[in-house]
Amino acid sequence: MSVDILTPDVANSVLARANPVAKLAAALCITLTLLFSVDWVSASVALACELCLVPLLGVRPASLAKRTWPLVVAAAIAAYSTALLGVKAGPVWFQLGPAVFTEHSVLTGVAIGLRGLAIALPGVFLLLSTDPTDLADGLAQKLHLPSRFVLGALAGMRLVGLLVDEWRTLGLARRARGVGTGHSPVARFRAFLGQAFALLVLAIRRATRLAVAMEARGFGGVVDGRPAPRTWARESSFSRLDAWVVAAGVGIAALAVGAAVVLGAWNVVWG
Amino acid sequence: MSPAMPWAASGGAPAGVRARGWGWRHAGRKAFAVSGLDLDIAPGERVLLLGASGAGKSTLLHALAGVLGAAEEGEEQGELTVDGVPAPRARGRAGLVLQDPESQIAMARVGDEVAFGCENLAVPREQIWPRVHRALADVGLDLPLDRPTAALSGGQKQRLALAGILAMEPGLVLLDEPTANLDPEGVQEVREAVRRSLDRTGATLVVVEHRVSVWSELVDRVVVLGAGGGLLADGPPERVLADAGVRRRLAAAGVWIPGWHPLTGDEVGNDAGRVLRPEAPDSQGELLAVPLLLADGLAVGRSSKAPPVVDGIDLTLREGHAASVTGPNGAGKSTLALTLAGLLPAVGGRLDALPPLARGAATSPHRWRSSELVSRIGTVFQEPEHQFLTPRVLDELEFGPRRVAKLSEKEVRRVVDGLLDRLRLDRLAGANPFTLSGGEKRRLSVATMLATSPRILVLDEPTFGQDALTWAELVRLLAELLGQGTSLLAVTHDEDFTAALSDTVYRIDGGRAARLEAAL
């Protein structure tokens, strides 16, 4: 009954077959590049390219929309507030009482909204097309991050799934004790805090036991003062597909910057 | 032997254990958990390790597995070796399976989980997968390697944990109450998996378990640790378990001994129920007892959107009567109990609190306010820690009467003092509930419910993992409550418990509930 966040249903798509490290590199490339500038050209070019890649994700557009709508809402809110509160320059486009929207503020708002989406989508693609175990394998074997850290985090994620279940049980168990009698927001908040603290205590105890069980299986061993050597049952390897993935990441970033510079919209955030 | 991997060299050959004057004191404790232990276990021996709780059985097992920790985590005396190597340096020679299935699985998929230990021991990749397949076959887990570990049952998880250590080809298999949290099918699955794998590998076995009958046929030696250090008894099971003096001492330590019943002693306990409740109602008396809660075509489930887990339930809970709910894991027993207890809404049919129970409150228990609920239906969860709210035993007992039922200070004192005395918690009044022993936690969790005098008490696996002393104590207490007119509903796999207490047994299987013949 526990929520299984470690073995998501990853569709057998082109992106799912790529090495997670390559996907991570491509996503970072796009995201970091877009962070440099607030302009509607680079943001919309990147976003358009990203949307073209949706078929490679193996997720139906409707299902993607269902999972990403909070991002769209957040981007819309960011765009609206920027248009409302941003620097009032250029001609006034329309005015509603004290709310003034000028050309500059509206364009900046649109840029902020599109940029937010363009920055978030690569991360969403990575999550939707990647099994966490494969990511851990890639990080440890290809990027040589310490296995103790990577596998510890992976085991910890499994516990997060259990905690969702534990939270429900705790809520019922505490209601049986009579907790949550009050209807005032303060009483509810106190009950919530108490339950959260109880969950924390249980989580720490469970994590401690898990750590012992992992240690008993030779995890985190030390030989002559250095981490014990370790092998990997699953090999994380790169293929030609991964070169394409990285190339796509670099290409999208370059296209976005190039278009913005050519059209004179490139607008570095600082400096 | 490669100096880089002192453990990997000796392969799967059975390991021998030797302790000389060995002892361990956990940092921050005054007394030694184990002291003055002299013990030799020959390679290939199968040992059942018994002793009172607190005699240091788990400590010894953890020490043999090399996970007791470094010098700052405790103080060691004497020597403890596995194949002549100090236990912490022999890591990988011993494999340890613990009690809680959820706390020992590290990976997301079955195959990766079994491979995990091999990877840590730097076994070459081409050798890992054959080992994984053999280990899964040994424990009888016929599952695809990519099956999510979260989808397994408790018994399957424990067998997976066993496969995970077998793949490391340990010379010494250590089991710390591996079946305490399992239903009878799960217990049998795990025991047969251990038997099969030991028969093939010949590895040495040390198992800690207070239900002796689970392992007595499989082991060739029983070792009893004394609470004060050293050994109380040591020998073949038929000799050790037949010795009247040893049996008495084991019984006093709460060990479940075959042929000995915690209520009736050496006479086998068919009549435990009669011993406990000489005036228990017969089947006609049942119909005369006052009905409190009535389920009519009730359907239960965790969410009103999903289809019900169990449907068409007809049952009545009556004053002074006990009902048991049995059935395989995952059949929906707990969901039924939580619904009857007013904690989950019914997803179909009727669940009515009759006037003697409702006393003016709504008909549906789920609609009661907390203060109405605690004085009508109490629920004891499987895991006592889920219900602890305060850092002190005394506060824990006072919470319900004072904060929820809002009794007068005088009443609170009377109720709480009575419970402290009756459940032998007075000595522990100032202790933190989380630091109590398993039996004490169970007593406290029942006491917190009794503090608001509910008419119905719902218990979810109240005897899981309890030793024989706590078991007998709990059963006596519940019998007393029945005598006072409380109605009990217990979800349980424990046949002894059902035989001792229950007037009616319901079996849940395949989404249906059926009433079995009366147990008494």
Query: Read out DSSP for B262-290?
Result: TTTBTS-GGGHHHHH-TT---HHHHHHSP
- Helix and strand element counts for chain B (H, E): 18, 19
d(CA A175, CA A179): 5
**Which chain A positions have a beta carbon within 8 Å of B148's beta carbon?**
4, 6-7
Q: Is the pLDDT confidence value at A270 over 50?
A: yes
Task: Tell whether B338 lies on the interface with A, counting CB pairs under 8 A.
Answer: yes
Q: What SS3 state is found at B348? A: strand
Tell me the CA end-to-end span of chain B in Å, nearest whole number.
64
Give strand pairing partners of B326: B507
d(CA A215, CA A205): 15
Burial B2-32 (b: 16+ CB within 10 A, else e): eeebbbbebebbbbbbbbeebbbbeeeeeeb
Best mutation target among B85, B121, B158, B412 (most A Cβ atoms within 10 Å) is: B121
| CB–CB contact B98 A209 (8 Å) | yes
Return residues 249-278 of B near A (CB < 8 Å): none
Closest CA to B313 of B457, B487, B511, B503: B511
Give strand pairing partners of B377: B456
Average pLDDT over residues A128-134: 90
The chain B residue lying nearest A179, using CA atoms, is B370
The chain B residue lying nearest A2, using CA atoms, is B150
Q: Which two tokens stand for residue B502?
A: 């229950």
Q: Which two tokens stand for residue B93?
A: 């020679």
d(CA A40, CA A265): 8
Give strand pairing partners of B293: B317, B353
Give strand pairing partners of B296: B350
Residue B442 CA, distance from chain mean position: 11
Partner-chain residue, chosen from A155, A181, A231, that has the shortest CB–CB distance to B123: A231
- Which pLDDT does position B517 carry in this prediction? 59
**Which chain B positions have a beta carbon within 8 Å of A218's beta carbon?**
7, 91-92, 117, 120-121, 168
- Which pLDDT does position B3 carry in this prediction? 39
Number of other residues whose CB lies within 10 A of the CB of residue B490: 25
B454, B484 Cβ separation under 8 angstroms: no
Best mutation target among A9, A177, A214 (most B Cβ atoms within 10 Å) is: A177
Partner-chain residue, chosen from B112, B371, B399, that has the shortest CB–CB distance to A233: B112
- Which pLDDT does position B4 carry in this prediction? 39
Cβ-Cβ contacts under 8 Å for B368 (sequence gap 6 or more): B342, B361, B362, B376
| CB–CB contact B399 A133 (8 Å) | no
Q: What is the pLDDT of residues A152-169, one digit of tens each?
A: 999 988 888 888 889 999
Tens digits of pLDDT across chain B (520 residues)? 333 344 443 457 899 999 999 999 888 778 888 888 999 999 999 999 998 777 888 899 999 998 887 767 888 999 999 999 998 888 789 999 998 888 889 998 999 999 999 999 999 999 999 999 999 998 989 999 999 998 888 889 999 999 999 999 999 999 999 988 788 888 898 999 999 999 999 999 999 988 899 999 999 999 998 877 788 889 999 999 888 888 888 888 888 888 888 888 766 555 666 667 766 656 556 667 899 999 999 999 988 778 899 999 999 999 999 999 998 877 889 999 999 999 999 999 999 999 999 999 999 999 998 889 999 999 999 999 999 999 999 999 999 999 888 889 999 999 999 999 888 888 899 999 988 888 889 999 999 999 999 999 999 999 887 888 889 989 999 999 999 999 999 999 888 899 899 889 999 988 888 887 544 4
d(CA B200, CA B88): 26
B277, B519 Cβ separation under 8 angstroms: no
Instruction: Write the burial class of residue A123 (CB in 10 Å: 0-12 exposed, 13-18 middle, 19+ buried).
Output: middle
Partner-chain residue, chosen from B103, B151, B165, that has the shortest CB–CB distance to A206: B103
Q: Quote the minimal CA–CA distance from B464 to chain A in Å.
A: 17
Closest CA to B395 of B405, B403, B407: B403
C-alpha distances out from residue B121 to A222, B116, B220, Å? 11, 9, 30
B300, B327 Cβ separation under 8 angstroms: no
Query: Which of the two residues, A67 and B445, has the higher pLDDT score?
Result: B445
Q: Tell me what percent of the residues of chain A surpass a pLDDT of 70.
A: 96
Average pLDDT over residues A44-72: 90
B218, B46 Cβ separation under 8 angstroms: yes
Q: Is the pLDDT confidence value at A255 over 90?
A: yes
Task: Tell whether B170 lies on the interface with A, counting CB pairs under 8 A.
Answer: no
Q: Quote the minimal CA–CA distance from B427 to chain A in Å.
A: 23
* Model ipTM over 0.90: no
Partner-chain residue, chosen from A181, A206, A218, that has the shortest CB–CB distance to B404: A181
Average pLDDT over residues A43-50: 95
| Order of strands, sheet of B487-491, starting from the edge strand that comes earlier in the sequence | B348-353, B291-300, B310-318, B512-516, B504-509, B322-326, B487-491, B456-460, B377-380
- Which pLDDT does position B5 carry in this prediction? 42
Give the angle B498-B189-B515 at the CA atoms, nearest 5°: 30
Q: Quote the minimal CA–CA distance from B369 to chain A in Å.
A: 7
| CB–CB contact A231 B104 (8 Å) | no
B201, B166 Cβ separation under 8 angstroms: yes
**Which chain B positions have a beta carbon within 8 Å of A132's beta carbon?**
108
DSSP per residue, B60-92: HHHHHHT-S--GGGEEEEEEEEETTEEGGGGBT
Closest CA to A120 of A167, A72, A77: A72
d(CA B103, CA A210): 5
B516, B506 Cβ separation under 8 angstroms: yes
Number of other residues whose CB lies within 10 A of the CB of residue B477: 16
Partner-chain residue, chosen from A7, A176, A198, that has the shortest CB–CB distance to B379: A176
Cβ-Cβ contacts under 8 Å for A66 (sequence gap 6 or more): none
* DSSP H or E segment with residue B489: strand B487-491
| CB–CB contact A219 B116 (8 Å) | yes
A13, A125 Cβ separation under 8 angstroms: no
| CB–CB contact A154 B148 (8 Å) | no
| CB–CB contact B150 A198 (8 Å) | no
Q: Which two tokens stand for residue B11?
A: 């392969």
d(CA A111, CA B181): 57
Partner-chain residue, chosen from A151, A161, A221, that has the shortest CB–CB distance to B91: A221
| CB–CB contact A228 B122 (8 Å) | yes
Instruction: Please list the alpha-helical segments (H only) found in B82-149.
Output: 110-120, 125-138
| CB–CB contact B98 A213 (8 Å) | yes
- Which pLDDT does position B55 carry in this prediction? 81
Cβ-Cβ contacts under 8 Å for B427 (sequence gap 6 or more): none
Q: Which two tokens stand for residue A26?
A: 């491509």
Best mutation target among B7, B85, B119 (most A Cβ atoms within 10 Å) is: B119
Tell me the CA end-to-end span of chain A in Å, nearest whole number.
52
| CB–CB contact B128 A233 (8 Å) | yes
The chain A residue lying nearest B96, using CA atoms, is A216
